Amino acid sequence: MLNVNKVYAMATMTIKESIKNRIVYAVFTASAMMFMMIYAVASVTMGDTGQIMIDTGSGVITIIVDIMAIVMTIESFKNDREGRNLFVLLPACGCRWRYITGKSIGLMVMSAIITISLLTVLDLSAMLYGHVHPISIFQSSITIVEEGMMATAIASLFAQGSSFLASILMTCATVFAGHYIYIIKSFTNSIHNVFLQTSGKMISWILPDFYSISLRSSAGYINAYDWSLLFHITCYVIFEVVAILTLSAIIFSRKDIS
């Protein structure tokens, strides 16, 4: 029933295909230009160059990686559907959830590889040009990688829709709302209408909490975050990814392939 080999084969196939995807090259090109700009800005700004590089660089990488993960995931699912790859892949996978799991894991690994390579360049440059605390930067980097994986999982859920644009917009809206979930929470706490309060609580409960999993605010400034905090964040991300992929697999298993 589990057959990890099939999931692994599906993930490997996805990675091999995505690694040559033009989006990946576009991300690396855009990031290289971005790094140069960040370094230029950091070197003329008052304050520690390395610290400013970490502040702006990690923010930029987060946005780039989220957008890349969303577009790459939705495009990949769309190509499989429209190119009739599913005709071959689904009978071979046996169960549809193996396809969804393998494909999503492949895309998450790709997202992680790209994020890690970009962050490595940024973190090493920051350490070279300034005085920053490497442990907190490392911890923050882990959460950025996890954020990209969560964005990929959400994209795989909305990729089940038939419209490419609608899928992109829905995923972007969810990720964006997830980053500003604290506003929804504070708004919910401040109102007295029971209906609005309940709705607000439900929305903040359903939305993935991108705000709380971010450790970017003090990265480089403090020696290290509490490791238990990182552990809790990782557990939350794993729970969210598993829950979203399960929902995605349920929706996909009921879908007719045209």
Partner 1 sequence: MSSHIVLRMRDVNMSVRTGHIFTKRKQVLRNINIDIRKGECVAYLGANGAGKTSTFKAISGLSSIDSGSIIKHGTLSIMPETPYFYKHITCRDLLSLMGKLNTVDDINQKIDAWSHRLNITPIMDKRIGQCSKGQVQRVGLAQVLMSEPDIVILDEPLSGLDPVGRRLVISVLLEQSMSGQTILFSSHIIDDVEKICTRAIFIRNGSIAHDEFVKREQYRTPPQTALEKVFMDVNQC
Count of residues near partner 1 by CB under 8 A? 29
Nearer to partner 1, 17 or 135 (CB): 17
Nearer to partner 1, 10 or 249 (CB): 10
Interface of this chain with partner 1, residues 78 to 97, rule: CB under 8 A: 79, 83-93
Q: Select from 19-27, 120-128, 208-216, 229-237 the region that touches partner 1 (CB under 8 A).
A: 19-27
Interface of this chain with partner 1, residues 163 to 202, rule: CB under 8 A: none
Interface with partner 1, residue 8, by CB under 8 A:
yes
Interface with partner 1, residue 13, by CB under 8 A:
yes
Whether the CB-CB separation of 58 and 159 falls below 8 Å is answered with no
Whether the CB-CB separation of 98 and 10 falls below 8 Å is answered with yes
For the CA atoms of 169, 173, 176, 181, what is the dihedral angle to 10 degrees? Answer: -170
DSSP label of 45: S
Interface of this chain with partner 1, residues 20 to 79, rule: CB under 8 A: 20-21, 79
Which residue of 1, 2, 5, 217 would you call a contact of partner 1, by CB under 8 A?
5
- The CA-CA-CA angle for residues 176, 26, 252, to 5°, reads 55
Nearer to partner 1, 40 or 257 (CB): 257
Q: How far apart are the first and last CA of the chain?
A: 26
Q: Select from 17-25, 184-192, 201-209, 232-240 the region that touches partner 1 (CB under 8 A).
A: 17-25
Q: C-beta of 188: minimal distance to partner 1 in Å? A: 32
Nearer to partner 1, 87 or 187 (CB): 87
Sequence-ordered strand ranges (E) for the chain:
none
Interface with partner 1, residue 226, by CB under 8 A:
no
Nearer to partner 1, 9 or 251 (CB): 9
What is the distance between the alpha carbons of residues 117 and 35, in angstroms, rounded to a whole number?
13
Q: C-beta of 23: minimal distance to partner 1 in Å? A: 12
DSSP label of 224: -
Q: At 238, which helix (H) or strand (E)? A: helix 227-253
What is the distance between the alpha carbons of residues 153 and 109, in angstroms, rounded to a whole number?
11
In order of 50, 130, 165, 167, the CA distances from 44 in angstroms are 12, 13, 40, 41
What is the distance between the alpha carbons of residues 18 and 34, in angstroms, rounded to a whole number?
23
Q: C-beta of 86: minimal distance to partner 1 in Å? A: 7
The binding site for partner 1 (CB under 8 A) comprises: 3, 5-6, 8-10, 12-13, 16-17, 19-21, 79, 83-93, 254, 256-258
